[in-house]
Structure 1
Amino acid sequence: MQTIRSFISIPITPGITSAATKIIKALKPVDSGIKWVPLDNLHLTLKFLGEVDNVEVFDVCTAIRSVTSHIEPFELHFTGTGGFPNLDKPRVLYAGIEDPSGLLVKMVGELELKLADLGFKPEPRDYRPHLTLGRARSKGGLVSEELSEAMQQYSDTHLGDMVVDEVNLMASFLDKQGPTYQVMDTIDLA
């Protein structure tokens, strides 16, 4: 059997990608301790699955379809920036996402349950919608004071709105230049 490094995501619109790109380009020169997400790879991750046996891909897609088949398209608002666990010692730098309908969080919760039935480990933390912009290179996660201040300049920036009407099952391939992603399946919402 062959395994495929996989995750479930929502593609983001070109407008939101463009706004996120502007923020990344403005912040990149401020601190070299961040591994910024390649601009072609920006997406909204719902669940990282890890190594999936190729024969399990069909079952994963079936589980995703069972969840998305009863969820109508919904709107998300991309706004502001922040860091996990906080902006003083972030491991992840992100653009915030508002989920006014609550359907994104509901969908992720249902995906967690369906995928747990297939043997995928549930996330230990509650899902907090965010668009990852970069990650700290060191485990300590200390960023410069300049970067913290620069991030705060974008804390109220509106990156755009979008309607979510599909979910992708993605394959991730790692090489020296970083990850490249390939869509394995696109699954429409109800």
Structure 2
Amino acid sequence: MKIKKTNRPPRPASTPASAPASEPGALRRTVAEAQAAAPRRDRPAGQSAAGQGSAGQGAGNKTAGNKGAGSRGAKPARPAGRPDARPARDTGGRDGSRPAPDDGHQPAGTQRLFFALKVPANLVGPLREAQRKLRGNWRRVDADQLHVTLAYLPAVPVDRVDDLKRLGVTLMQDLAPMQVSLRGTGYYPNEGSPRVWFVKVEAEGLPELAQALRDGIHALGLETDEQPFKGHITLARKKGPAPRVPPLTFTHGWQAGGAVLYRSILRKTGPIHETASSFRFRAPLPTTPDPLAPDLLTPDSAPDTPPAEPAVTDPQ
């Protein structure tokens, strides 16, 4: 399903109020209701709606008046509240993979966060078996770090984390568990020297949930990455010359009963993901009618019954 990217708050859906919350239109409506219940707060100081810091621009004007500011070779002032290398600019591609930034830069007072589905323990074996095929300078993702990213936030002020927790509860409490399926492996980028090896995932309603989360995040005045959602699990990241693994196809899957808000902490050995909050999909699964229920039997399939005996009358 192709998803149209948008950075604007969603419009309330025109679906009836009785529509199930698991439908895409209902997710959109829930975002609008959450926005109305929690009015948009101002962005962090020095950050405008376009993601650029007005405070940084003022600092640049002030610097221009200092001695030597206009000399050749002077570096322009960077907007306040932005790292030297913004993670969201180099964290994704057409396949949706997001190689973790390793520059270590993070604006003061902010955190890297992301919404995701956690990969269950029963799938670790098949994925680890695939990782054993890697050779050279591939860095395998640890089993407890495997996940499906739904929305990535590169710089969240600490005092806004609770807003994201409330958004997660609002969007997910009325969703039913999702059946997630693994597909084939791929690389990012596909051409040249790949940096990430991943396996694709699919689930009904998963793209709609990812888009609803991003719309809700934007409605809160926070930023996400700018890449279209493509469900995947990152298996390894390349740190030097390394050969590719031939394509692999999986037939495994799992039933996702909820999602997680992770906090990403960068280390030299790779990112560490800590759970900031978790959310349950609390709606019941759709019930499938029993094909053998008596009220669903057709006349041809009804059980055989003996014919009624003729009534005996008194000969008198």
Q: Where does 1:16-27 land on structure 2 (aligned, <5 Å)?
A: 16-27=123-134
Match of 2:235 among 133, 141, 144: 133
Structure richer in helix, relative to its length: 1
CA distance in structure 2 between the partners assigned to 1:134 and 1:87 by the alignment: 17
Match of 1:42 in 2: 146
How much has 1:87 moved relative to structure 2? 6.3
Kept in 1, the 8 Å contact 2:154–2:224? The answer is no
Q: Structure 1 176/126 Cα, relative in aligned 2: closer, same or farther at 3 Å?
A: closer
Match of 2:261 among 155, 158, 169: 169
CA distance in structure 1 between the partners assigned to 2:267 and 2:189 by the alignment: 28
CA distance in structure 1 between the partners assigned to 2:195 and 2:269 by the alignment: 21
Match of 2:169 in 1: 65
TM, length-normalised to structure 1: 0.81
How much has 1:40 moved relative to structure 2? 2.6
Matched, 1:82 2:186: yes
Match of 2:275 among 169, 183, 188: 183
Kept in 2, the 8 Å contact 1:97–1:130? The answer is yes
Q: Which structure has more RCO (C-alpha within 8 Å, separation ≥ 6)?
A: 1
CA distance in structure 2 between the partners assigned to 1:41 and 1:15 by the alignment: 14
CA distance in structure 1 between the partners assigned to 2:119 and 2:210 by the alignment: 17
CA distance in structure 2 between the partners assigned to 1:7 and 1:118 by the alignment: 15
Kept in 2, the 8 Å contact 1:35–1:137? The answer is yes
Whichever residue aligns with residue 176 of structure 1, its letter is K
CA distance in structure 2 between the partners assigned to 1:39 and 1:168 by the alignment: 16
How much has 1:122 moved relative to structure 2? 4.2
How much has 1:59 moved relative to structure 2? 0.2
Q: Which runs of 5+ in 1 are unaligned?
A: none
Kept in 1, the 8 Å contact 2:156–2:222? The answer is no
Task: For residue 26 of structure 1, give the secondary structure of its aligned residue in structure 2.
Answer: coil
CA distance in structure 1 between the partners assigned to 2:260 and 2:216 by the alignment: 16
Matched, 1:124 2:229: no
Match of 2:155 in 1: 51
Q: Which runs of 5+ in 2 are unaligned?
A: 1-107, 283-316
Matched, 1:7 2:114: yes
Deviation string 1:43-101 (CA, Å, 9 cap, x unpaired) is 111122123222111101111222213321110111221113326643321112122x2
Task: For residue 114 of structure 1, give the secondary structure of its aligned residue in structure 2.
Answer: helix
Deviates more, 1:129-138 or 1:6-15: 129-138
Whichever residue aligns with residue 227 of structure 2, its letter is R
Task: For residue 151 of structure 1, give the secondary structure of its aligned residue in structure 2.
Answer: coil
Matched, 1:151 2:230: no
Paired residues, what number? 175
TM, length-normalised to structure 2: 0.51
RMSD: 2.2
Deviation string 1:128-177 (CA, Å, 9 cap, x unpaired) is 11111122336xxx853xx2xx332x1x232x211111111111222333
Match of 2:136 in 1: 31
Whichever residue aligns with residue 119 of structure 2, its letter is I
Q: Structure 1 69/40 Cα, relative in aligned 2: closer, same or farther at 3 Å?
A: closer
Structure richer in strand, relative to its length: 1
CA distance in structure 2 between the partners assigned to 1:35 and 1:10 by the alignment: 22
Kept in 2, the 8 Å contact 1:167–1:187? The answer is yes
How much has 1:17 moved relative to structure 2? 1.9
